[in-house]
Amino acid sequence: MGRAVSRVLAVDPGQARLGVAISDPTATVARPLTTIAHTSRQKDAEAVLVLAREQGAGQIVVGVPFDMEGEVGHRARRSLRLVEILRKLSPLPVSTWDESGSTIAAQRGRGPDPSLDARAAAVILQEYLDAQTRA
């Protein structure tokens, strides 16, 4: 019997905005969804959970920007604080994924773009989904 599949919501937390992406119902393909203006980690988490509920997500993945050595630096700590709050506020499983380079990958071949953060979240989510199918 195969595992139950549901949508996965991914978040790329930044200083000014959070990019958000969602998978298809089979958790195979990621697409950019929206961006959220950063206010506070608590308010950000609440906004993410509203989106998760609206989109029917069964899991949340948060991108964590580890440094070149895979260590937790200042930016990663900020993301991990969001993860902590999401886990306190929601029964949904919340996973982390190393998002190093996701914004650069989302930018490839494009100029300035207001949906960059959401595309970066889609890159994170697609990498996560692909890794799950290989596992």
pLDDT at 128: 94
Instruction: Give residue 98's pLDDT.
Output: 87
In the Cβ-directed half-sphere of 68, how many Cα atoms lie within 13 Å?
0
CA distances from 114 to 37, 111, 126 (A): 12, 10, 20
Edge-to-edge order in the sheet of strand 17-23: 30-37, 17-23, 7-13, 57-64, 94-98
Q: What is the pLDDT of residue 130?
A: 93
What the block records as the tokens of 58 is 């069964």
- Name which of 93, 74, 73, 72 is nearest 83 in CA terms: 93
> From residue 28, how far is each of 14, 98, 125, 131, 133 by CA, in Å?
25, 19, 10, 11, 8
Single pTM value for the model: 0.84
Question: What DSSP element (H or E) covers 130?
Answer: helix 116-134
pLDDT in tens, the chain (135 residues): 344 568 999 999 988 999 999 999 999 999 999 999 999 999 999 999 999 999 999 999 999 987 777 677 778 899 999 999 999 999 999 999 987 655 555 555 555 566 788 988 999 999 999 998 876
